[in-house]
């Protein structure tokens, strides 16, 4: 399952799980920061994301909350 953003895939499924395209960072890494209540700007800076990447990650998590939470619990 992937989320298309501006004609490019922003979130992809790899052997590591749901991953931000062009990075090795998974949504589960982002979830760790969200669970610790860090703000999006901090997360963006911590991972050197572009604004588009952090927006895509947060949008995907929000839209697919149940699926992402379930997979996050397994990790």
What's the pLDDT tens digit per position in 1-54? 444 444 457 999 999 999 999 999 999 999 999 999 999 999 999 999 999 999
Supply the pLDDT for residue 8: 52
* Backbone φ and ψ of 26, nearest 5°: -90, 165
What backbone torsions phi and psi does residue 59 show, to the nearest 5 degrees? Answer: -65, -45
C-alpha 11, offset from chain centre = 7
Q: What pLDDT does 6 receive?
A: 42
CB burial of residue 5 (10 Å; 0-12, 13-18, 19+): middle
Domain boundary assignment for the chain: 3-74
Which helix (H) or strand (E) is 1 found in, with range? none
pLDDT of residue 14: 94
What is the fold, at CATH topology level, of the domain defined by 3-74?
A: Arc Repressor Mutant, subunit A (1.10.10)
Q: Is the pLDDT of residue 64 over 70?
A: yes
Which pLDDT band, with edges at 50, 70 and 90, does 69 fall under?
very high
């Amino acid at each position: 399952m992937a989320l298309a953003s501006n004609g490019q895939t922003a979130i992809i499924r790899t052997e590591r799980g749901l991953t931000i395209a062009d990075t090795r960072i998974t949504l589960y890494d982002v979830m760790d920061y969200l669970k610790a209540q860090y703000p999006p700007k901090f997360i963006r800076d911590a991972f050197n994301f572009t604004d588009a990447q952090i927006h895509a990650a947060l949008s995907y998590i929000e839209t697919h909350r149940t699926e992402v939470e379930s997979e996050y619990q397994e990790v």
